[in-house]
Amino acid sequence: MPQHTQPEPRATRVSRRNLLLGAGALALCGVGGAGAMAVIGPRIDGFVTDTSVTPQPMDSPLRIPEVVTAGGGVVELTVRAGRTAFVGGREAATKGVNGSYLGPTLRVRRGEEVMIDVRNDLDEPTTMHWHGMHVPPEMDGTPHQSIAPGATWHARWRCTNESGTLWYHPHPHGRTAQQVWEGIAGMIIVDDPEDLDHRLPSEYGIDDIPVVIQDRGFDDDGELATSGAGALGMFGDTILVNGTPGARFDVTRERTRLRIVNGSNTRWYHLALSGGRAMQVVATDGGRLYGGPATVRTLLVSPGERYEVVVTMRAGEDLTLRSVTSDYPGGKEYGTGKDFDVLRLEAKGSLSASPPPPRSPLRRRRRRLRVCRCAGSGSTGTAPSTARRWTCPASTRCTPRAASRCGR
């Protein structure tokens, strides 16, 4: 591989997208095999060899996973095998959490103690990783926290995340890609009591909708595909939303929040609404956009990435969330070289009113620091909203802007 040099050292920001692109380049340049595949998971005998998508009639009611409150008591999750009907009603062997495919939506509140018992009813080891959650290392669900068949893992932590959309999935060594492909995953919603804005749609399953997007391949018998292999990873030719092929959601409110998770193994999505309709981004996988919503017409979403978008519709209107062609470098290799439908949004003849969309920064309780003048080393000050204390170094004038210098 050619070596490139620079006249001076330069700091480089490595993003997940660039890492994926680099992995693809290594595979194409002949590094190949298990080494290249390790970036996105081990190769299995079961996915299509290209990134094409088979069109589906967009008329299957969107499945809404049940919501489980993970706070105030122990939540029990069981990873199990089962069978699930997909295209044409034919069943396939799958895996899921508290069911045959995918799992419930976990809802937690910032500041609460989270207690989850994960039981493994599979015939192989697994783990459970809380993707995006701030947790102690021993609770992260990595290969170091392997759960043997028949065993139960007790996960405990206090939620310190701000409001946002996260997800959970297995992370066993050498088996992550296959277990995710077979259906073990689910959404996590974090609610923050300090998030004082009530202008966003927030009734789960009504105007606050989980949208877990995946691609899967099926053989002639309706089973998850078990032949063929792609050099870059697992691709399927059937698009699922919450496990539903050809998904349609019946809109009943003027404004609907879509909590989008790219739960695919490899495929990217360049999402857009039909007719060039704009949508408002109110959160990313880093949390809420407190500077205010961003109006966009397309979103490029890589595996594991999350967005919350708000869509405004009129009574009787019919829109489709689609993945459209992108010219992003390397995007075609990862599935954005063709247009295809993801989710149909069909508005009823009459819609219930929604609060007006936010046009200014979203309100959140500010943590203000009292201005203090420090006479010398050892002086202290107090942050009233958090009751935190800090020690100020000598000759330091403390203000909200310079509070970080006070070691708070």
SS3 per-residue string spanning 239-275: EEECCEECEEEEEEECEEEEEEEECCCCCCEEEEEHH
Task: Determine the pLDDT at residue 19.
Answer: 35
Nearest Cα to Cα of residue 372 among 385, 381, 364: 381
CA distance 62 to 39: 32
**What's the pTM value of the predicted model, to 2 decimals?**
0.78
List the pLDDT tens digit at each of the 408 positions of the chain: 444 333 333 333 334 444 333 333 333 333 233 222 222 333 344 444 578 899 999 999 999 999 999 988 999 999 999 999 998 889 999 999 999 999 999 999 999 999 999 999 999 999 999 999 999 999 999 999 999 999 999 999 999 999 999 999 999 999 999 999 999 999 999 999 877 566 899 999 999 999 999 999 998 889 998 655 456 778 899 999 999 999 999 999 999 999 999 999 999 999 999 999 999 999 999 888 877 899 999 999 999 999 999 999 999 999 999 999 988 877 788 888 899 999 999 999 999 999 877 665 555 544 443 333 433 333 333 333 333 333 333 333 433 333 333 333
**Token digits for 21?**
């692109």
Residue 229, burial from CB neighbour count under 10 angstroms (0-12, 13-18, 19+):
middle
Torsion angles phi and psi, residue 23, rounded to 5: -65, -40
**Contact, 100 vs 82, CB < 8 A?**
yes
Task: Determine the pLDDT at residue 2.
Answer: 40
CA distance 343 to 210: 12
Is the CA virtual torsion 120, 63, 213, 225 positive or negative?
positive
Task: Determine the pLDDT at residue 195.
Answer: 73
Q: What is the CA radius of gyration of the chain?
A: 23
CA distance 113 to 243: 30
Angle at 321 between CA 319 and CA 325, to 5 degrees: 125
Task: Determine the pLDDT at residue 292.
Answer: 83
**Contact, 66 vs 105, CB < 8 A?**
yes
CA distance 317 to 252: 11
Strand-pairing partners, residue 76, are 117
The number of residues in the chain equals 408
**Token digits for 379?**
């002086």
Task: Determine the pLDDT at residue 152.
Answer: 98
**Contact, 235 vs 47, CB < 8 A?**
yes
CA distance 104 to 147: 20
Q: Which run of H or E residues covers position 26?
A: helix 16-28
CA distance 115 to 246: 36
**Contact, 42 vs 34, CB < 8 A?**
yes
Task: Determine the pLDDT at residue 130.
Answer: 98
- 96 by DSSP, 3-state: which? strand
